[in-house]
Amino acid sequence: MPANLTPQYLAAEKRFREAVTHQEKIEALEEMMATIPKHKGTEKMRADLRRRMAKLNEEKDKKYGISKASAFYTVEKEGAAQVALAGAPNVGKSSLLASLTHAAPEIADYPFTTHLPQPGMMPFENIQIQLVDMPPLAREFYRPWMGSILRHADLVLLVVDLSSDDLLEEVDAVVQLLADSRICLQGKLPVDRAGMEAASACCRTLLLANKLDAVQAGEGLQILRELYEPQYDIIPASAVSGEGLETVRSTVFEKLELVRVHTKIPGKKVDMSTPPFVLKRGSTVLDVAKAVHREFAHTLKYARVWSSEHSQHPRKNDGQMVERTHAMEDGDILELHV
């Protein structure tokens, strides 16, 4: 089976061949892994990429005396989606994780308290969204595995400190650090790639303006909006007072572009107490059928769909028969006939 390699993959492969340092090689391999098509024809290539990454990490650790156990960290995705909390030192990411989830990260007033990724589950209505608190993004502390977690997250929350006198410098430093690692933060506007090499990943990003309870927060928020609001959606909030946290939850869900679908057995009422199936916006009846059971993709005869009683856009003909290609909406109730 042909691999059908993308131009982004080929460009990363060229950078790998030209790389000199271990970090340059690792970052190029991460980009190759992120952009290689995922199908049966590339299974051996992906396995080889993972082997080379592991070998380079091991060699790098030996050189700098780092234990093998701490060389590379991943966080397995759980819940409806994975959202990474990224930012400069001491912006309050761990406090936000504690306030939005049931996790209990170590919190202190000094920088670099967080050394490892810390996951927690954020409830939103009838689903759970995984948040991952990242170590601070600073050049003296940055490791390639941090970029890998950001690349694989479904959304990045770029956390900033409204009380900081160096607010703008901190934001610019984080954005530039990630750009140097070929990671772009994609806000409301397309990233300007003029003069840039192809990035390994463009991460969908919200800018979370934390410490809204601080005395000088109003001034910081105004400056932030003047300079960054054209590019990013900005959510002001406080992990301490709780102000804005519900908006954080709802905006994160909206930005993830998900739909929640409940299924029901023909002739029976839907059980709304069971968790819904969560899929990407634009998913079809057939996608839901596959999520319920992979064999349903072959045995599905037809389906009927109802709007949720809480839907803002109820259908005129609820219970109507729909095609396999019918796009689902958030809150739909689907009855599959197989």
Q: Does 153 lie in the same domain as 275?
A: no
- Give, for 131, the enclosing helix (H) or strand (E): strand 127-133
Q: Which of 241, 256, 271 is the last residue of a domain?
A: 256
Residue 53 contacts residue 46 (beta carbons within 8 Å): no
Q: Please, are residues 158 and 137 in contact by the beta-carbon 8 Å criterion? A: no
Indicate the residue among 210, 229, 256 that finishes a domain: 256
Provide the domain limits for residue 38. Answer: 7-70
Residues 220, 152 share a domain: yes
pLDDT for 252 equals 97
pLDDT at position 96 is: 95
CB < 8 Å & 24+ apart, contacts of 192-196:
none
- What span, in angstroms and rounded, lies between the C-alpha atoms of 213 and 191? 32
Q: Which helix (H) or strand (E) holds 304?
A: strand 302-306
Instruction: Indicate whether 2 belongs to any domain.
Output: no
Q: What is the pLDDT of residue 19?
A: 78
**Phi, psi at 138, each rounded to 5°:** -145, 145
Is residue 155 within 8 A of residue 135, CB to CB? The reply is no
Overall residue count recorded for the chain in this entry: 338
Residue 27 near residue 182, CB atoms below 8 Å: yes
Say whether both 114 and 62 belong to one domain.
Answer: no
Query: Which helix (H) or strand (E) covers residue 144, if one does?
Result: helix 144-152
63 and 151 housed in the same domain = no
CA distance 86 to 208: 10
Structure tokens at 186: 């994609």
CA-based radius of gyration for the chain:
22
Residues 113 and 42 in one domain: no
Print pLDDT tens along the chain (338 aa).
455 778 888 888 888 887 777 777 888 888 888 888 877 778 888 888 888 888 887 776 565 444 444 445 788 898 999 999 999 999 999 999 999 998 776 555 545 555 688 999 999 999 999 999 999 998 878 888 888 899 999 999 999 999 999 999 999 999 999 998 889 999 886 666 554 455 567 899 999 999 999 999 999 999 999 999 989 999 999 999 999 999 999 999 999 999 999 998 888 888 888 889 999 999 999 999 898 888 887 888 888 999 876 555 556 567 888 888 999 999 999 988 88
Distance of CA 22 to CAs 35, 53, 67, Å? Answer: 20, 10, 16
H/E run at residue 248: helix 245-256
Q: Are strands 258-264 and 333-337 parallel, antiparallel or unpaired?
A: parallel
Final residue belonging to a domain, choices 225, 256, 287: 256
Q: How many domains does the chain have?
A: 3
Reduced to 3 states (helix: H, G, I; strand: E, B; else coil), residue 93 is: helix
3-state secondary structure of 102: coil
The confidence score (pLDDT) of residue 194 equals: 53
pLDDT of residue 70: 42
In a domain, 206, yes or no: yes
pLDDT for 21 equals: 73
**168 and 239 inside one domain:** yes
